[in-house]
Amino acid sequence: MNRTIKEATVKRFHYDSHGQLRTHLSDFMAAYNFGRRLKTVNGLTPYEGVCKIWTSEPERFIINLTHQNPEPNN
């Protein structure tokens, strides 16, 4: 996944600021997670794959509020 992100962003585009990269990265990740159909999840998007597993096996998911914090854990 890291290579996919790098090839879709910094290897193809020049950014004048960190903000531009951050915006493009956010847009790319949204398009990938909600629009890209993958063979590894039987033709579903990553979002659809997670929702399908969450519905059938909710015990596999642990909600940890520190994961929702955009700041580093101190």
Model-level pTM? 0.65
Domain assignment present for 36: yes
Residue 32 lies in a domain: yes
Name the more confident of 36 and 73: 36
Q: How many domains does the chain divide into?
A: 1
> Is the predicted pLDDT of residue 72 greater than 90, yes or no?
no
Residues written for the chain: 74
57 within some domain: yes
Range of the domain at 61: 2-68
Task: Evaluate whether residue 60 is within a structural domain.
Answer: yes
Q: Is residue 46 part of a domain?
A: yes
- Evaluate whether residue 73 is within a structural domain: no
- Classify residue 74: in a domain, yes or no: no
Residue 26, domain member (yes or no)? yes
**pLDDT of the residue at 3:** 93
Asked if 54 and 47 count as a contact pair (C-beta separation under 8 A), the reply is: no
42 torsion bin: left (phi>0), alpha (psi -120 to 50), beta (else): left
Taking 70 as the threshold, does the pLDDT of residue 73 lie above it?
no
